[in-house]
Every structure is written in structure tokens, then in C-alpha cells.
Amino acid sequence: MVDAHSKAKAAQIQRVGEVVRNFYSELPFNFHGSLESSVEAIRRPPVQGTYPDLHTLLRSNGDPGFHVLEVGCGAGWLANGIALHYGVHLEAIDLTPAALKRARALAPLLGTEKFVRFLECNVFDFETDRRYDLIMSMGVLHHTGDVFGAMAKLAPLLKPGGRMYLGLYHEPGRKVFLEEMWRLARENGEDAAFQRYCQLDSVHAADDTLARSWFRDQVLHPHETQHTLQQVDGWLELLGLKLESTSINRFAPIKNKKKLFRLELEYEARSRKALFEENRYFPGFFTALARKPL
Ligand SMILES: C[S@@+](CC[C@H](N)C(=O)[O-])C[C@H]1O[C@@H](n2cnc3c(N)ncnc32)[C@H](O)[C@@H]1O
């Protein structure tokens, strides 16, 4: 019975992987219209403003042996960006060849090819003898069909004291945005939803290919799940990892988890306000940084 259950689960994960690869093969996520435009974007500091906890971690590491694994690197902005701005070594895996092709093409233009090794691989099939100081995965595991399974696969690959950095869709935070986009697409057509998306996400709207790649990913995805920090914290604990910081409280020190988990329930109202009152892009995404004990 247990065996049948794990076989069914493995088959489901495989199927999701195929659907997701096919989806991104048409147009990978965060895909600029030209290589030059990607290079220009990656030359800007990649995480300093958005993910200050990740920036502090990368900036403070003076160890030349510091090694990073990125899971689901897509077109390579983060792996190439981190190599360029922090001089660390990375392995970056993804299951979509079209995304990896772009990520690899960017490396020599940025001078990062000695730092990053891009590999085509499904996270569930990834094997290595290496142990990492940092394993990061931004906007990926919620497209795999088994977030906890992927975390459980990755946790043993951390060195003692190593960190896991995850970016995931947030359940209360995401609902409002998705429902509004789907309503527009249903009632007025996909193009109307795309136009509304471009109004909200003006950062990516200037480059049509880039805007389409974001819109498809954010609104038309064939497989996504949504999560809460409380749920992820429970999974981290099961894996022996300790939550250190999160975007949910804007990266403030974590003093009281109960308060933190109450705060995340406010995200639905925040999202509603951002979208309908402030006309602001609020896709509903959160991060969690966790550490493996020494
Ligand atoms: C939303 S994109 C994020 C890409 C990148 N992390 C970024 O922030 O630009 C999701 C990426 O995860 C990859 N992916 C999805 N499922 C995967 C899996 N099971 N193993 C490896 N990569 C996966 C997809 O191919 C896609 O490139």
C-alpha cells in the first residue's frame, strides 16, 4: 500500500515536471527580448533592495569555499547576478533547456562563466557529493507538485550551519491577484488581463517579451500551489532547520512566531488594498531563510 502510494506520488511529480517544462519551453520566465537587456538588468544589484537578508548573508561571507546551489535557476538572473556581484561559486539547476540556454549565454557576457555551472536536472533527480553553504530556490518549488518532498531532498545537501532560502507563493496574499486576473481573462479575454497586468507591473512592461514571460508565469501557469509561512516553518522544523528571517515581517528579527503567523493572515486584506485602492502590483510571494544547526 505504502509502495503504491509512493509510486503514485512519484508518477504525479514526474507528470507535473513534464507539464511545467513544456510550459516554460514556449517562453521561459523573466526572459528579456535581447541578451543585452538581460545583461543590463543583471548588472544592477540583484538582491540588495528586495532580499536584504540574502544580501547580508552573501556580503558577509569571506570564505572562498562558500558554495551555493540554486534550484530552478530559470534564465539565470539570480545565479549570474550573485556570481557577478558577490563572487561566489554556484551550481544552478533547472529542468527547462530553453531557460538554461539563455542562462548559459549570459555568463560569458557577464564574466561569470568561471563561477556558475548550469545543469539540466529535475530537483527530485539531483544527485551530488557536494555539501552547500546556501541552497536557494526562488519561485520554483510551488511548481513541483511536492514542496515538502523537494525541501526534504535538499536539506541533507546543506553543510552544518548552511542556509536554505526559499521564495514561494503565499496563500492569503496571492488569492486576490489571481482571482482578479482570472476574472478579467474569463470575462474580457486574455489580452485584457495582460493589459491590466502591464498597468500593475510597470517594471517589466517596457519589454514586451519580458512582460509576456511574467504574465504567463504569474497568471497562466498550469501548475502552482500556495503556502503559508506557518506551514513552511512546520516543514523546516521537521527537517531540523531553524527559521531565521522572512519577508512576511519585512525581515525583522523573529521574536514571536505566533504574532508572525497572525501577521500573515493580514496579507489577503493587504493584497486587496494594493490591487484595488493603490493600483499596485501585489502577486503574493514570500521568502523564508532557514539555517541548519552547526
Ligand atoms: C518561475 S520560474 C523561476 C526561475 C528563477 N528562479 C527566477 O527567479 O527567475 C520557475 C523555474 O523553475 C523550474 N522548475 C520547475 N520545476 C522544477 C523542477 N522540478 N526541477 C528543476 N527546476 C524546476 C522551471 O523550469 C522554471 O525555470
Contact, 30 vs 214, CB < 8 A? yes
Residue 56 lies in a domain: yes
Ligand 1, residues 93, 140, 210: which to mutate, most atoms within 8 A of Cβ?
140
Query: pLDDT value at position 64?
Result: 80
Residue 204 lies in a domain: no
Residue 194 lies in a domain: no
Query: Which three cell numbers mark 236?
Result: 523546516
**CATH code (residue 151):** 3.40.50.150
138 lines ligand 1 (CB under 6 A): yes
Residue 113 lies in a domain: yes
Q: Alpha helices, DSSP H only, in the chain?
A: 2-26, 35-43, 52-59, 77-86, 97-110, 147-154, 171-188, 190-200, 202-205, 208-219, 229-238, 257-265, 267-276
Residue 110 lies in a domain: yes
Residue 230 lies in a domain: yes
Residue 175 lies in a domain: no
Residue 252 lies in a domain: yes
Q: Give the SS3 label for residue 160.
A: strand
Q: Hey, whose CA ends up nearest to atom 25 of ligand 1?
A: 96
Amino acid at 5: H
Query: pLDDT value at position 23?
Result: 98
Q: Is the pLDDT of residue 28 over 70?
A: yes
Domains of the chain: total = 1
Query: pLDDT value at position 63?
Result: 81
139 CA to centre of ligand 1 in angstroms: 7
Q: Which of 217, 187, 140 is nearest to 153 (CA)?
A: 140
180 lines ligand 1 (CB under 6 A): no
Query: pLDDT value at position 26?
Result: 97
Per the structure, the complete domain to which residue 158 belongs is given by: 2-170+226-266+285-291
Claim: this prediction has a pTM higher than 0.95: yes
Q: Is the pLDDT of residue 1 over 70?
A: no
- Mean pLDDT for 51-74 is 92
Please report which confidence band the pLDDT of residue 65 belongs to, taking 50, 70 and 90 as the band edges.
confident
Contact, 100 vs 118, CB < 8 A? yes
